[in-house]
Every structure is written in C-alpha cells, then in structure tokens.
Amino acid sequence: MMERAPADRTPIVILISGRGSNMLAILGARPALDVAAVISNEPLAAGLAAARERGVATRIVDHRAYADRAGFDAALAREIDAFGPRLVVLAGFMRILTDAFVARYTGRLLNIHPALLPAFPGLNTHRRALAAGVRIHGCTVHFVTPELDGGPIIAQTAVPAAPDDTEETLAARVLVEEHKLYPQVVRWVCEGRVRLAPDGRVTVVRAGTASGSLASPPLDVA
Ligand code: GRF
C-alpha cells in the first residue's frame, strides 16, 4: 500500500460509478491532492479496487438499496460528510442527484463532462458530436447545479474531431485531456483560486491568458 503525503489540506471526496480513470488522474496528481475517500454507487466499479490499492478509503452506497432518489442521496451525503470534505468531485458518477443534494454542496461540487458545454449535455456525447459533424470537441469541468450539465463552467479543453473518427477514437482523444484538466481544476479550487460570482460567472485567479487558436481541419499555411 502506497503511503500518501498530501501537500494540500483540502479534503476531497470523489464519487465514481465505473472504471475511475479521472479518479486515478486526481489520485496521481503531484504534489498530492488530499483525497479523503472514494465512494461508488456501483459495488463492482473497477475504480474502487484501484483506489483501495492506492491506500485510499472507499465506501459503497448502492442505489438499489434505496426506495427513491431522496433516500439514496441522503445516505450518500452521510457517507460523504463523515469525511468532512471541502470539495466533492464527480468523476464518472452516473446518478442524477436531487436538488437537495446539489444545494447541500453548492460551490463545492464539481463534475467533468466529455463535451464542450453547453453543446451536448447528457449522455453519448462523442456519438452525438460526430453525428453533428463538429470539427472541434472537448471536455468541460463545471460546478454542479440542479440543471443537468448546466452549471457554471470553470475550464475547458478543445480537441479536433475528424470525419474518420469513431466514437472510440474521439473518446480516447478527449479522455487524455480530461486527465490533465480535472486534476488542474481540482487543484485550483483547493488553492482557493476559483471564484464563483453570484451571476454564475467563474474566474480563476492567477491563471494564464489563453492565446492562439485551434482550427480543425488545420488551415493551409501560406
Ligand atoms: C468520463 O468521460 C467523464 O467525462 C464522464 O464519464 C467518464 C468517466 O470515465 N463524466 P472514468 O470513470 O473517469 O474513466
């Protein structure tokens, strides 16, 4: 079991449902982020075993054991709050959360979405992006609000999409960027550098200024 020595004392709880590759990217960030626990609604989520191997506390809150969403969300909140996190990070967590749950963690609940929001909220983003013929796709990290995939955007990464892409090739290209973007945004939030204004606009303090452009397909150069 690997000893973890968090450089940052902002306890984080990560919620997963599946393979947990974004979770692993956050666990692998250096200097280490202070991940207190990983919680899954799926008892067999591959990410749970990976978290355990890395010495991180894990919990299961199986949604099938609860009569309704409210009951599940209340149980989930109890497990989360036992770790006293400042930040709750959704990383491939495939349950829709109740408004009460979202309200409990306002301003400290993050999600990563595999599209350039507000384009393609919801599921099957890569398939839908290809069907729409977009030439630029990407991923978004945002604060969670009751509107599905509709919360304030913190940061995005764009990637090119091509007509000969498949859902799989495009997903893989986006995922590589997710694994860079999510740990960075989590660190910004832990460092207190992400400001959420009452109008829902987000600023990242001391972030660089984006420059240049991505054209897809690339322009002919003279
Ligand atoms: C990622 O593509 C993420 O953007 C989406 O669900 C997927 C989860 O993958 N929300 P993983 O479990 O982090 O590997």
Residue of 175, 179, 180, 182 to test ligand 1 pocket, by largest number of atoms within 8 Å of CB: 175
Pocket of ligand 1 (CB under 6 A): 16, 18-23, 91-92, 112-114, 175, 178
- For the chain, residues classed under CATH 3.40.50.170 are 1-105, 112-206
Burial 185-199 (b: 16+ CB within 10 A, else e): bbbbbbeeebebeee
CATH topology of domain 1-105: Rossmann fold (3.40.50)
Helix then strand count (H, E) for the chain reads 6, 9
Q: Which long-range contacts (CB under 8 A, 24 or more apart) does 187-194 make?
A: 187/8, 187/29, 187/33, 188/154, 188/155, 189/10, 189/87, 189/108, 189/110, 189/154, 190/8, 190/10, 190/12, 190/33, 190/34, 190/86, 190/87, 191/8, 194/154
Q: Which CATH architecture has domain 112-206?
A: 3-Layer(aba) Sandwich (3.40)
What is the Cα–Cα distance from 53 to 36, expressed in whole angstroms? 14
Give the residue numbers annotated as catalytic, written as ranges. Answer: 113
Amino acid at 204: V
Ligand 1 centroid to residue 219 C-alpha, Å: 32
pLDDT at residue number 5? 46
pLDDT at residue number 9? 81
- pLDDT one digit per residue (tens) for the chain, 222 residues: 444 444 458 999 999 999 999 999 999 999 999 999 999 999 999 999 999 999 999 999 999 999 999 999 999 999 999 999 999 999 999 999 999 999 999 999 999 999 999 999 999 999 999 999 999 999 999 999 999 999 999 999 999 999 999 999 999 999 999 999 999 999 999 999 999 999 999 999 999 999 999 999 999 986
The β-bridge relationship of strands 194-196 and 153-160 is unpaired
pLDDT at residue number 222? 63
Number of other CB atoms surrounding residue 100 within 10 Å:
13
What is the Cα–Cα distance from 89 to 15, expressed in whole angstroms? 6
Ligand 1 atom with the shortest distance to the CA of 18: 12
